[in-house]
Amino acid sequence: VLALLYEAKDSPRHALSAFCALLAREPGTYWTFVIHTGERTFVGATPERHVSLSGGTAVMNPISGTYRYPPAGPTLQGVTEFLADRKETEELYMVLDEELKMMARICERGGRVTGPHLKEMGRLAHTEY
């Protein structure tokens, strides 16, 4: 998980500016948010849908593995090597297995898997189901 922390104490405009920058630079996010509690403002983005429920269907999309784009942008060779990396593949299967266990506890008929997919972000890509 990539995490960046920035703290600004001078103006709510900075939070809105950060939110707008995330919207513009991270098109692959599942959720980009700005939350103001009255005392604090939180801004963030995540590519991962932890769980959603709609029409009686629960959906999760486990993400694992990160291909960081080189400065000139992604290359076919870089993506191919990333997708062929056994460690990355096994890590994704492990995350998928854990999420299937969770789904089995909350869904009467278990789950259905689609994928894997490549989730493209502004400066990196993740593998996901």
Same domain, 16 and 58: no
One-character DSSP codes across 71-100? TT---HHHHHHHHH-HHHHHHHHHHHHHHH
Same domain, 23 and 76: no
Same domain, 41 and 58: no
49-85: per-residue pLDDT in tens?
878 888 888 888 888 889 999 999 999 999 999 999 9
59 neighbors 51 (Cβ within 8 angstroms): yes
Residue identified by tokens 């950060």 is 18
Single pTM value for the model: 0.67
What's the total number of domains in the chain? 2
Q: What share of the chain is helix, strand, coil (3-state, %, to 5)?
A: 35, 25, 40
Q: Is residue 1 part of a domain?
A: no
- Please give the residue range of the domain that contains residue 77: 52-128
Same domain, 37 and 94: no
94-126: per-residue pLDDT in tens?
999 998 998 888 888 878 899 999 999 888 999
Q: Is residue 61 part of a domain?
A: yes
Does the structure show a pLDDT above 60 at 2?
A: no
Q: Is residue 113 part of a domain?
A: yes
Taking residues 35-52, report their average pLDDT: 84
Does the structure show a pLDDT above 70 at 1?
A: no
123 neighbors 69 (Cβ within 8 angstroms): yes
Same domain, 93 and 116: yes
Burial (CB count <10 Å: 0-12, 13-18, 19+), residue 125: buried
Question: What is the rounded CA–CA span in Å between residue 62 and residue 60?
Answer: 6
